[in-house]
Amino acid sequence: MSDVYNALIVGIGGQGVVLASNVLGEACLAEGRTVRCSETHGMAQRGGSVESHVRINGRYSPLIPPGQADLLISFELLEALRYRHYLKPEGTFVVNEYLVVPTSVYVQRLPVPQKDELLEQLRGDRFYLIDAQALAKEAGSPLTQNIVMVGAASTHLPLAITSLHEGIKRWVPAKTLEMNLKAFDLGRAATTR
């Protein structure tokens, strides 16, 4: 299974994690690769922590074991920390500079996590911090944040840009395609400069 490339995408229900993983899965199909993906559905989606495992060239397990992700894309800082142990020591970590404090923290009056402290814990080799919100706004809509993140991660994925574009075309609403392709480019530029 040495040719399997494991990409884990995490975030919060409603951020478009599943759609982002669909783009990767569709790109695999465009390249004639096998792919196995496992998603969070149902009750867990209600604003909860969400994960989508994409195993490019995968044939059997749809789940990535801890310590085996080549790439971890996180749409949020706390989720980045929650799932960091899935990353291989030499893995790539692409993180959205965006913090959503769980409501339970306020209700239970727990210490509110701070952005700076989280970043300090997260930073390391091959760590890329993306301001997806700003780039998505630049692309035309904050709703394109998930595609900004796919674009940012694309420099590390073993998938061709044309294939990822195919994936975007297949999964975003037709009238938002142009905006999403721009979001992809802006994200990609953020990790290549």
Binding site for other proteins (CB under 8 A): 1, 12-13, 21-22, 25-26, 28-29, 33-49, 59-63, 65-68, 78-79, 81-82, 84-85, 87, 101-107, 110, 112-113, 121
C-alpha 168/C-alpha 24 separation (Å) is: 9
CB 114 within 8 Å of CB 80: no
User: What's the closest the beta carbon of residue 121 comes to other proteins, in angstroms?
Assistant: 7
Which of 85/123 has CB closer to other proteins? 85
User: What's the closest the beta carbon of residue 85 comes to other proteins, in angstroms?
Assistant: 4
CB 28 within 8 Å of CB 164: no
User: What's the closest the beta carbon of residue 189 comes to other proteins, in angstroms?
Assistant: 27
Which of 48/178 has CB closer to other proteins? 48
Instruction: Check the CA dihedral 130-17-73-111 and report its sign.
Output: positive
DSSP letters spanning 19-85: HHHHHHHHHHHHTT--EEEEE--GGGGSSSEEEEEEEET--S-SSPPTT-EEEEEESSHHHHHHHGG
Which of 13/158 has CB closer to other proteins? 13
Which of 141/192 has CB closer to other proteins? 141
Which of 112/189 has CB closer to other proteins? 112
C-alpha 184/C-alpha 149 separation (Å) is: 8
User: What's the closest the beta carbon of residue 166 comes to other proteins, in angstroms?
Assistant: 11
User: What's the closest the beta carbon of residue 111 comes to other proteins, in angstroms?
Assistant: 9
